[in-house]
Structure 1
Amino acid sequence: MTAPLPGFAGRTYLFQVDNGAAFRNAYSADGTRLRWEGLGESAGQWEDVGLHVAHVGPELYFVSWTEASGITVSHVMDLAALTVRVFWTYEGEGGRVGELHTGTLEPLA
C-alpha cells in the first residue's frame, strides 16, 4: 500500500519569511523533491533537493531537507492556513547556528 500524495505535491508556492527572505518553491508531482529559487536579495540562487515528508495532521506536513551547502531546513506546512514554521541551521562563526522563523504561502500553480 502506498502513502497518499502530500497536499503540496505538484504545486508551486511563493514562500515569504518573516525576515524578508522570499522563495519560489516548486514541489515535484510525487512530493519527493523541491526546487527552491531565491527571490529579492537571494535572486539567482536555487537548488533541487530531496525531501523527507511526514503527514502530521489534516493538511499539516513536516518537511525537511539538507542543501549542498550544509544548510538544513525543516518546515511545518499548514496548507489550510497557508502558513509555515521553519527552522534552519547553518555553519556560522563559532559553530552551528539555528534560526526559527514563520512565513506565509501563496499558491502560484
Structure 2
Amino acid sequence: MTAPLPGFAGRTYLFEVDNGAAFRNAYSADGTRLRWEGLGESAGQWEDVKLHVAEVAPRIYFVSWTETSGITVSHVMDLNTLTVKVFWTWEGEGGRVGELHTGRLTPA
C-alpha cells in the first residue's frame, strides 16, 4: 500500500519567517524533494534537498532535511492554517547552535 502524497506535493510557497528571512519553497510532485531559494538578504542562495516527511495530523506535516552546508532544518507545516514552526541547527563557535522560529506560508 502506498502512502498518500503530502498536501504540499507539487506546490510552491513563499515562506516568511519571524526573523525576516524569506524563501521560495518548491516541492516536487511526489513530495520527496524541496528546492528552496533564498529571498531578500539570502537572494541567490538555493539548494535541492531530499525530504523526510511524516503526517502527524490531518494536513499537518513534520518535514526535515540536511543541507550540504551541514545545516539541519525541521518544519512542522500546518497546511490548515498555513503556518510553520521551524527549528534549524548549524555548527557554530563552540558547538552546535539551534534556533526556533515561526513563519507563514503563502501559495505562490
TM above 0.5: yes
Q: Distance in 1 between matches of 2:56 and 2:68?
A: 27
Structure 2 unmatched ranges of 5 or more: none
Structure 1 unmatched ranges of 5 or more: none
Give a deviation string over 1:53-78, Cα, whole Å, max 9, x none: 00000110000000000000000000
Counterpart position of 2:33: 33
Counterpart position of 1:3: 3
Aligned-partner SS, 1:8 = coil
Counterpart position of 2:74: 74
Counterpart position of 1:44: 44
| Mapped pair 1:105 → 2:99 | no
Aligned-residue offset at 1:21: 0.1
Q: Distance in 1 between matches of 2:95 and 2:37?
A: 26
What is the TM-score when the length of structure 1 is the normalising length? 0.99
Q: Distance in 2 between matches of 1:58 and 1:5?
A: 12
| Mapped pair 1:61 → 2:61 | yes
Number of equivalent positions = 108
Q: Flag as ranges the 4+ runs of structure 1 deviating above 2 A.
A: none
Percent identity, aligned pairs only? 87
Q: Distance in 2 between matches of 1:103 and 1:51?
A: 19
Aligned-residue offset at 1:106: 0.1
Aligned-residue offset at 1:13: 0.1
Give a deviation string over 1:51-106, Cα, whole Å, max 9, x none: 00000001100000000000000000000100000000001111100100000000
